[in-house]
Amino acid sequence: MSRNQQLFEQSQKFIPGGVNSPVRAFKSVGGTPVFFRKGEGAYVWDADDKSYIDYVGSWGPLILGHAHPEVIEAVYAAAKNGLTFGAPTEAELEIAELLCRLVPSIEQVRLVSSGTEAAMSAIRLARGYTGRNRIIKFEGCYHGHDDALLVKAGSGALTFGHPSSAGVPAETASSTVVLDYNDLAGVEQAFNQFGAEIAAVIVEPVAGNMNLIAPRPGFLPGLRELCTRHGSVLIFDEVMTGFRVGLECAQGLYGIKPDLTTLGKVIGGGMPMAAFGGRREIMQCLAPVGAVYQAGTLSGNPVAVAAGLATLKLVQAPGFYDRLTACTRALTEGLVTAARKHGVVFCAQAVGGMFGLYFRETLPESYAEAMSCNRDAFNGFFHAMLEKGVYFAPSAFEAGFVSAAHGDAEISKTLATAEQIFARK
List residues with catalytic annotation.
142, 237, 265
Are the C-beta atoms of residues 259 and 279 closer than 8 Å to each other?
yes
Is the separation of the CB atoms in 415 and 334 below 8 Å? Answer: yes
164 and 196 Cβ atoms separated by less than 8 Å: no
To the nearest 10 degrees (0 to 180), the angle between helices 320-341 and 408-422 is 20
From CA 312, how far away is CA 243, in angstroms rounded? 8
Give the three-state DSSP class for 413: helix
Peptide bond into 394 cis (omega under 30): no
Gap between the Cα atoms of 45 and 52, Å rounded: 6
Q: How many residues does the chain have?
A: 425
Question: Which long-range contacts link 18-25 to residues 24+ away (Cβ below 8 Å)?
Answer: 23/393, 23/394, 23/395, 23/398, 24/394
- Phi first, then psi: give them for residue 349, nearest 5 degrees: -155, 165
69-80 vs 302-315: helix crossing angle, rounded to 10: 150
Sign of the Cα torsion 168, 173, 175, 180 reads positive
Closest CA to 406 of 63, 25, 32: 63
- Check if the beta carbon of residue 111 is closer than 8 Å to that of residue 96: yes
